[in-house]
Amino acid sequence: MFKNLSPNIKSSITRSITQTFEQYMSDIEWSGEKFSIDDYIASWREYITEKALWYSKIPDDMKNDPEFHEDLAKRINEIIARILSEPPSEEQVVEIQSMQEVLDTHYEYHCKAEAIYVETLLKNKINA
């Protein structure tokens, strides 16, 4: 069912999943202990119903179809797996290591998105 959507809507859905996941993870400080898929899905649902322009373009009968929800769940899982498996860039690693030496901190990061979070956190500490 998901594959029947226009490329623009599929792209918008992918962006919304990515943005809300990265924001959710930032909100919980990339803590595995604080992570809850239910909380993430709730934040994504809130985003799509209140802010996503693509949501109103999907017919209600499709939104209510269990197959559509299964397809979305698969897509969410795929995108989260992709985000978590993308390694930080060499530039990020160098920049973070440099800031950690200055601040004498030891933040860990395992993927590019988490490295962005750590880099922002460290920059804010340096600029404070």
SS (H, E, C) 4-56: HCCHHHHHHHHHHHHHHHHHHHHHCCCCCCCCCHHHHHHHHHHHHHHCCCHHH
Please list the helix, strand and coil fractions of the chain in percent, rounded to the nearest 5, in that order. 75, 0, 25
How high is the mean pLDDT in each 10-residue block of the chain (128 residues)?
Answer: 88 95 97 95 93 92 92 95 98 97 96 97 92
> What's the pLDDT score for residue 2?
80
Q: What is the pLDDT of residue 23?
A: 96
106: helix, strand or coil: coil
